[in-house]
Amino acid sequence: MAKKKKKPKKAVDIKALYSVEGGALKRKTEFCPKCGPGVFLAKHKDRVSCGKCGYTEFTKKPEQK
């Protein structure tokens, strides 16, 4: 059986995780509550998740009528 090829990982742009407001840095995303400061939660379409420990929070879907 042939081995699967791994996709190369995308480099994280650190500048995209922070913004400067009033001369101070502000985080745009949350830290993981299990891993602590320094590990960001990734934003997906319907959830936020930690790539290190697997912690996931699902967002509520808006009700459709």
Q: What is the pLDDT of residue 64?
A: 64
Phi, psi of 58 (to 5 degrees): -90, 140
Residue 58 near residue 47, CB atoms below 8 Å: yes
Is residue 22 in a domain?
no
Is residue 40 in a domain?
yes
Q: Domain range holding 60?
A: 32-65
Count the domains in the chain: 1
Phi/psi-derived region of residue 51, left when phi > 0, alpha when psi is between -120 and 50, beta in every other case: alpha
pLDDT digits (tens, 9 = 90+) for 13-45: 888 888 999 999 898 888 999 999 889 898 889
Is 58 a residue whose pLDDT tops 90?
yes
Residue 53 near residue 61, CB atoms below 8 Å: no
Q: Looking at residues 2-7, what average pLDDT do you find?
A: 86
Is 65 a residue whose pLDDT tops 80?
no
Is residue 53 in a domain?
yes
Q: Looking at residues 47-51, what average pLDDT do you find?
A: 93
Is 54 a residue whose pLDDT tops 90?
yes
